[in-house]
Amino acid sequence: MNDGWRIDFELMRLIFWSSKRETKRHLWPSVAPPLLTIDGIGTRPPGCWKMLTVAVCMAFLACLQAQELQGHVSIILLGATGDLAKKYLWQGLFQLYLDEVGKGYSFSFHGAALTSTKQGQELIAKVLESLSCPEDMEPGRCAELKGQFQRLSQYRHLKTNEDYMALSKDIEAQLQHEGLREAGRIFYFSVPPFAYADIARSINSSCRPGPGAWLRVVLEKPFGHDYVSAQQLATELGSFFQEEEMYRVDHYLGKQAVAQILPFRDQNRKALDGLWNRHHVERVEIIMKETVDAEGRTSFYEEYGVIRDVLQNHLTEVLTLVAMELPYNISSSKAVLQHKLQAFQALRGLQKGSAVLGQYQAYSRQVRREQQKPDSFYSLTPTFAGILVHVDNLRWEGVPFILMSGKALDERVGYIRILFRNQAYCAQNEKRWVVDQSQCLPRQIIFYIGHGELGSPAVLVSRNLFRPSLPSKSWKEVEGRPGLHLFGRPISDYYAYSPVREQDAYSVLISHIFHGRKDSFITTENLLASWVFWTPLLDSLAHEVPRLYPGGAENGYLLDFEFSGAQLRFCQQQLEQLVPGPGSAPMPSNFQVLTAKYRESPLISAWPEELISKLADDIEATAVRAVRRFGEFHLALSGGSSPVPLLEQLATGHFGFPWAQTHLWLVDERCVPLWDPESNFQGLQAHLLRYIRVPYYNIHPMPVHLHQRLCAEEDQGAQMYASEISALVTNSSFDLVLLGMGTDGHTASLFPQSPAGLDGTQPVVLTRSPYKPHQRMSLSLPLINRARKVAVLVMGRVKREITMLVSRAGHEPKKWPISGVLPSSGQLVWYMDYEAFLG
């Protein structure tokens, strides 16, 4: 043994261990290492050995110190005695400890709740005793680590600001006593959202970690009830925490099959680049079915229902993972979140016809029992929903995304299924088709979330598509299971892979929180984008009566639905017809389409669906006659929400419409860029133009955006539009003008407060609306009254009062602009639904 080596190692050992503090018993055993001896090494100059020794030891010390300096993490579980904590969160924290022990961090776990200290300690002790280790862990090692975790975990009562201050002081005292550097603190909010603000205020004022340490606050859904409430909650939390400190949990993003979507797309880019688009994908199904009902949770369900509970969050998040453009680097959280936001922004707005709703028959009875409601109470809360979603971009245009979830269904299962178009014809008999060669067999990729026939997470790819690449350390190929069929094909038709080790979603997400992986969580921006998408549909469905279903296997075909264009509908009509009792609201079948007079002009009245169908038929008939007579048809359309069902009806149900000879004009336009969601032209594009074939030179948007300005008088946009009408429309007489009527009696963008356009010689005028955006461009009353036919569409109970007022008014356009509509040589026809006409 060279003496230089012995001296230097002894010196380094003394330096190293004298610098150690008692804190390191969390990281290494508290015994000194033996002296190192090196035999069989030839003699070298002592100075050389000393230099080499110091260099090696310093490198070794640097590694240990870097590991050691990662520091101490305090994890505070709020609501530690609740159901979620007992079922998933404590186990997830234990799994985090198992994964990270010995890697340079020390931990303390604080279970907090409003429960008294003694009762809380007893509850936590029971939970900790029930924790389990992975199956492949040796029992002795499991018992050792479980004991350590139990010793590191404690219960404390947290309620007041003083309680949080005391917690912070206790953490600081522990750090000081054990000589630890604080790495950070995690607060997991397993509490109702109404408690968030008070807890956040206390953490921010009294329990933040010191300088250099991070804070991570974990929030559980629901994140609001609609856009307004979500924005209020986000604003409130944003006053206490920075965006990078907040981790909103959607546990579906921790499901192994869901978490594999982006890595799968990334690892199989070459195979998927040509397939993952509208040219090859027939449809995408995102499904979560449950066999359980809402018993015991009806108070929650009455407030949220199935759409808010499952579709707005879990299934929408999955949709964005499938539909988003794939970042160049999927390990970049920033890039992933940015691409998800772009996917949200590309979602086409939902209409009432985009959804079908159901409710299992026992639900209202359960609500009455659990919430002490009277026997006459019947809930409108849906427990089943199917939603048709479209993504408006070049990759996915026209591809239906079907989202479905429900309770009391026939099986428990969740999956994402991408079904590819099959345009092959196989000349040989089906019996001779070879699974991995025949293009006539179904081609699909399935991310199987769990339960169902397979019983576990899986990724499946049809053998006639390609052999996928998955990480071999975490996914293994599934052995054949004779007799098992999925989506009509034997399991042998797929390349099938399952996780090497199944992990609970919360364990996955808690690990991601610890490591600061933000891409697995919901940012404020993405949360609000989701509510922007869902809130209008939820508002429109608030008073819809869901279809009743018996539950379980007895549902039969009752909940099957089909889609056409942008519309969803149940395949079967209701088997039972309700007979209206005394005081019951009339049903559509109680009325025919009524014809009468309103303001001395023809009136057509019906329920909304029949009214829209009638108006669409009349417009098509007018178009056909005009084309036969003049060779072209000039149609001017108003904006707003009322015409949307009409546009969709024309787009999807009128295949004989002479679109090639039709010119489309706007009656009015908001002074916003044409691509703005507020633009009437954008509404026309979203609900009609994308579905029909109109020559682009026959489409005439109003020129509100010129020279990078909006509706500037000096740009003369109104005069330009008037000149275009004069040049293309004979006598400036449209074949048909479609108008609406506002609750203040305005029509087009002609308002009582803005007399422009009510008379005079200007065909097109700039006006001012009392509603935002205030600036508008509109056809004038004199130009509208030159039309061969004017149709006024009035729908909804909110129009009942103005309908009554206008019915008694004379020709008073300055007070009621709609009263000035009277074609000089054409026809005026009113189309009103029963709610607007009868109330």
Active site residues: 314
Q: Kindly provide the b/e burial profile for residues 394-407, where b requires at least 16 CB atoms within 10 angstroms of the residue's own CB.
A: ebbeebbbbbbbbb
Are the C-beta atoms of 830 and 611 separated by less than 8 Å?
Answer: no
Residues contacting 822, CB < 8 A, separation 6+: 785, 811, 828
3-state secondary structure 377-417: CCCCCCCEEEEEECECCCCCCCCCEEEEEECCCCCCEEEEE
Are the C-beta atoms of 632 and 661 separated by less than 8 Å?
Answer: yes
Q: CA geometry: angle at 619 spanning 614 and 625, to 5°?
A: 125
Instruction: Give me Rg for the CA atoms of the chain.
Output: 34
Cα 605 from Cα 600, distance rounded (Å): 15
The number of beta carbons lying within 10 Å of the beta carbon of residue 684 is 21
Amino acid letter, 799: K
Phi (first) and psi of residue 302, to 5 degrees: -65, -30
3-state secondary structure 721-764: HHHHHHHHCHHHCCCEEEEECCCCCCECCEECCECCCCCCCCCE
Cα 699 from Cα 616, distance rounded (Å): 19
Cα 582 from Cα 577, distance rounded (Å): 16
- Closest by CA to 534, choosing from 322, 421, 385, is 385
Are the C-beta atoms of 551 and 292 separated by less than 8 Å?
Answer: no
Could you identify the residue written with the tokens 């019996």?
Answer: 431
Sheet with 736-740, strands from edge to edge, namely: 594-598, 601-606, 827-833, 789-794, 736-740, 633-637, 662-666, 699-700
Q: Quick one: residue 206, left, alpha or beta (phi over 0 = left, psi -120 to 50 = alpha)?
A: alpha
Amino acid letter, 443: R
Would you give the DSSP letter of residue 712? -
The number of beta carbons lying within 10 Å of the beta carbon of residue 811 is 9
Cα 717 from Cα 670, distance rounded (Å): 13
Cα 745 from Cα 808, distance rounded (Å): 13
CA 112 vs CA 79, 119, 156, 208, 698: distances in Å: 6, 12, 5, 16, 67
Cα 249 from Cα 220, distance rounded (Å): 5
